[in-house]
Amino acid sequence: MVAISYQLYSSRNFPDVARQAAMLAGIGYKHVEPFGGQFGDVPTLKATLDAHGLTAPTAHIGIPALRQDFAGTMAKVKALGVQIAIVPAVPPDERTNDLAGWKKLGAELAGYADRANDLGLRFGWHNHHFEFAQLPDGSFPMEWVLGEKQNLLWQVDLAWVMRGKQDPITWTKRYASRVIGFHVKDLAPEGTCVDEDGWADPGYGILDWQALLPVMRATPAEVWTLEHDNPNDDARFARRGFATVAGW
């Protein structure tokens, strides 16, 4: 049984966390995924989640925070009860790295994975589309980001793989043993949901979930996290997304 979670970034334009937590608990969520900016006041965040029966098995942690203070950042993660720390991206100027740059990032992440494991945490990467822009030698940044280190895990964002013009089924199967979770999101049909940057609520877009689900279930993924990068109504997204995934 996988856990159904909610990436709180989806509600960043609809404050505050107390309202979000109450809304999510009312829908039926038991888990959320905080993101970097919310770790400024961990005691308050934890108290808010606790008050609504929510836990945070995973969290997105910005790589700048890890570079500046790895130990302090991981201490905050552990204080919230997070079990899997996930880097969601690199700064914009690092998203067009050359081959050497991607290899360097992969080595950096592998080092963080080792250090996180030593602290009793697991560690992973969350993709966007830029990891799937093919390099001059024919390889993909994603290959170098994940590298060969088996303890560097992957949270697959299925819709971002598609925005990178790649097949999420192929990539998920390739790294299946290292898939720790999924971001469940959807793409709207071309030219629709323009005010939501072309994203759709899961099950209301163009992703072929019937083809994806058997592949997702064949991985050791423990948490399926609902995310919408720019909903115009976070309550609608949270409600419809939960109904879709719970129905699976």
Is residue 1 very low, low, confident or very high in pLDDT (cuts 50, 70, 90)? confident
> Quick check: bond before 157 cis, omega within 30?
no
Cβ neighbors of 107 (< 8 A, separation 6 or more) are 147
| Residue 34 near residue 8, CB atoms below 8 Å | yes
How far apart CA 219 and CA 138 sit, in angstroms, is: 27
Is residue 97 very low, low, confident or very high in pLDDT (cuts 50, 70, 90)? confident
Neighbour count for residue 169 (Cβ, 10 Å): 16
Q: What is the pLDDT of residue 168?
A: 98
Q: What are 7-65's pLDDT values in tens digits?
A: 999 999 999 999 999 999 999 999 999 999 899 999 999 999 999 999 999 999 999 99
Q: What is the pLDDT of residue 125?
A: 98
Following DSSP, what letter does each residue of 32-96 receive, concatenated?
A: -B--GGGGGGHHHHHHHHHHTT-B-SEEE--HHHHHH-HHHHHHHHHHTT-SEEEE----GGGTT
The dotted CATH code for 3-247 is 3.20.20.150
Q: What is the pLDDT of residue 139?
A: 97
Residue 212 has pLDDT above 90, yes or no: yes
**Looking at residues 75-93, what average pLDDT do you find?**
97
Hey, where are the domains in the chain? 3-247
Q: What are 155-202's pLDDT values in tens digits?
A: 999 999 999 999 999 999 999 999 999 999 999 999 999 999 999 999
Q: What are 112-154's pLDDT values in tens digits?
A: 999 999 999 999 999 999 999 999 999 999 999 999 999 999 9
